[in-house]
Amino acid sequence: MEKIVLPRGEWLYDPSSPLGRPGGFGAVFEGVSTSYGQVAVKRLHITSNDAAHREMRIATDLASRTLTHVIPVLDAGEDADTGQYFVVMPRAERSLQSDIQAGRFSDVEAARVTLNIADGLLEVNDLVHRDLKPPNILLHEGAWKVADFGIARFVEDATSLRTLKDCLSPPYAAPEQFQFIHATSATDVYALGCIGYALLTGRPPFPGPTNPDYFDQHLHADPPALPNAVAPRLQTLLSMMLRKPPSSRPSLSRVKAILSEVVQSASGAGSNSVGILAQVGSDIARQQARIEQQLQQAQSEEATRDQLADTGRKILRDILERLFNRVLNEAPNARRDRLAVTLGRGRLEASLAGVGGHRRQSAAPAGLCRESKWDGCGYFRTTAKYS
């Protein structure tokens, strides 16, 4: 056992006795305390050299709260001797990951577990988890609770957003996380949708297996259809939660309300008409998600074309600058006027109207780009006049 000294006291942990596999932000080990008995001690993958401040805010954020569906934080901060950062939590019975590996959940069981997680996210709705996944959902005192809340926020504060790319859990990461966009509650909603999918199928929606594969799948691919036996209302909800644009996902409150309805409706048989309407709603939700995904991809492609057009304009302007400067060097009595140069009765003019080949620019002459493999084509027109 090794002793660590944190802001709230002394703790012992055994670095040779891990509890589960290491995660993106750290590894958890068996620990003990004279006050709390057996505990779990998480050693983070950062040191004081990486940190922008001396103590983790999650210690004061969470330790003083009464929480039902979030694993409480007993202590957190920098060890006085080693400079490493630790989080101390109560010892849980097992993680949700082990139950998923043991077999699929029924609709009602999956809805109840997902509802417990949503309750945990809502209990601390001023925080964003950023690394929600089955290994971070723990069974403690008979209830499923969210663990490691706030650690991703601390790591982001202590280092930088781009360093988080090595701490993502790709099977459960939202599209915006692969794009290094700051996470919001919608990010947790997406991850929760991935967890719900895993509960019902035994695996997350996208298989990877490499990080580039996950990047492409989360940003562009449709999740495989859930089994027909899954309640249509649950299918619809998960489809909405897995939408690519964060703004189009339901809020956590809406997720909780729908999950509550699914759990309550399971206690009594609904009419056939209600089942048909729910199935239709599920089909529409999938179609809407596909349309939004196509729209987002089109917007991304348009932004890329805009960047290419801007680059093309800069390159062509540079060409013209060098051309006009050459004329002025050879003929000092020539006069420069923006995109034109005049020498005596002669005038050379240039137009950039068609630069970029983008649909918002003037169209290139027919056939100009026929042999090109570029998405757009840039050109400029020069006119020589003599009067």
Q: Which of these ranges, 38-52, 103-117, 205-219, has the smallest mean pLDDT?
A: 38-52
At 111 the pLDDT is: 95
At 386 the pLDDT is: 63
Q: Is residue 234 part of a domain?
A: yes
Give the type of residue at 294.
Q
Judgement on whether residues 337 and 196 belong to the same structural domain of the protein: no
At 158 the pLDDT is: 55
Across residues 65-91, what is the average pLDDT?
A: 87
Judgement on whether residues 318 and 248 belong to the same structural domain of the protein: no
Q: Is residue 279 part of a domain?
A: no
Judgement on whether residues 131 and 192 belong to the same structural domain of the protein: yes
Euclidean distance between CA atoms 306 and 378, whole angstroms: 12
The pLDDT > 70 percentage for the chain reads 69
The pLDDT tens digits of the residues spanning 6-24 come to 888 899 999 999 987 776 6
Judgement on whether residues 113 and 44 belong to the same structural domain of the protein: yes
The pLDDT tens digits of the residues spanning 308-341 come to 666 667 667 767 777 777 778 777 788 888 778 8
Using CA atoms, how far residue 24 sits from 94, 97, 133, 157, 166, in Å, is: 19, 15, 11, 16, 7
At 189 the pLDDT is: 97
- Domain final residue pick, 206, 234, 268: 268
Q: In this structure, is the dihedral angle defined by the CA atoms of residues 270, 273, 279 and 284, taken in order, positive or negative?
A: negative
Using CA atoms, how far residue 360 sits from 248, 307, 373, 376, in Å, is: 27, 13, 20, 11
Of residues 166 and 242, more confidence is placed in 242
At 122 the pLDDT is: 94
Q: Is residue 300 part of a domain?
A: no
Judgement on whether residues 44 and 119 belong to the same structural domain of the protein: yes
Judgement on whether residues 124 and 225 belong to the same structural domain of the protein: yes
Q: Which of these ranges, 230-234, 262-266, 357-361, has the smallest mean pLDDT?
A: 357-361
Judgement on whether residues 216 and 357 belong to the same structural domain of the protein: no
pLDDT beyond 50 at 218: yes
CB-based burial, 315-350: b 16+ in 10 Å, e otherwise: ebeeebeeebeeeeeeeeebeeeebbbbeeeebbeb
Across residues 213-217, what is the average pLDDT?
A: 93
Q: Is residue 93 part of a domain?
A: yes
- Domain final residue pick, 234, 268, 302: 268
Domain that holds residue 139: 2-268
- Domain final residue pick, 212, 241, 268: 268
DSSP 379: -
Q: Please list the active-site residues.
A: 131
Across residues 331-353, what is the average pLDDT?
A: 79
Residue 125's pLDDT band, with cuts at 50, 70 and 90, is confident
Judgement on whether residues 30 and 84 belong to the same structural domain of the protein: yes
At 165 the pLDDT is: 55
Across residues 57-78, what is the average pLDDT?
A: 81
Q: Residue 277, CB half-sphere, CA atoms under 13 Å: how many?
A: 5
pLDDT beyond 70 at 349: yes
At 85 the pLDDT is: 86
- Give the CATH number, domain containing residue 178: 1.10.510.10
Residue 98's pLDDT band, with cuts at 50, 70 and 90, is very high
Q: Is residue 290 part of a domain?
A: no
Q: What are phi and psi of 169, to 5 degrees?
A: -105, 90
Across residues 283-304, what is the average pLDDT?
A: 63
Q: Tally the domains of the chain.
A: 2
Q: Comparing C-alpha atoms, which of 131, 97, 90, 93 is closest to residue 113?
A: 97
Judgement on whether residues 78 and 147 belong to the same structural domain of the protein: yes
Residue 274's pLDDT band, with cuts at 50, 70 and 90, is very low
Q: Which of these ranges, 28-37, 280-289, 297-306, 329-338, has the smallest mean pLDDT?
A: 280-289
Judgement on whether residues 162 and 46 belong to the same structural domain of the protein: yes
Judgement on whether residues 251 and 381 belong to the same structural domain of the protein: no
At 272 the pLDDT is: 43
Q: Is residue 278 part of a domain?
A: no
Q: Is residue 136 part of a domain?
A: yes
Across residues 290-308, what is the average pLDDT?
A: 64
pLDDT beyond 60 at 99: yes
Of residues 5 and 360, more confidence is placed in 5
Q: Is residue 288 part of a domain?
A: no
pLDDT beyond 70 at 36: yes
pLDDT beyond 90 at 31: yes
> Mapping DSSP to helix (H, G, I), strand (E, B) and coil, where does residue 161 land?
helix
Judgement on whether residues 127 and 31 belong to the same structural domain of the protein: yes
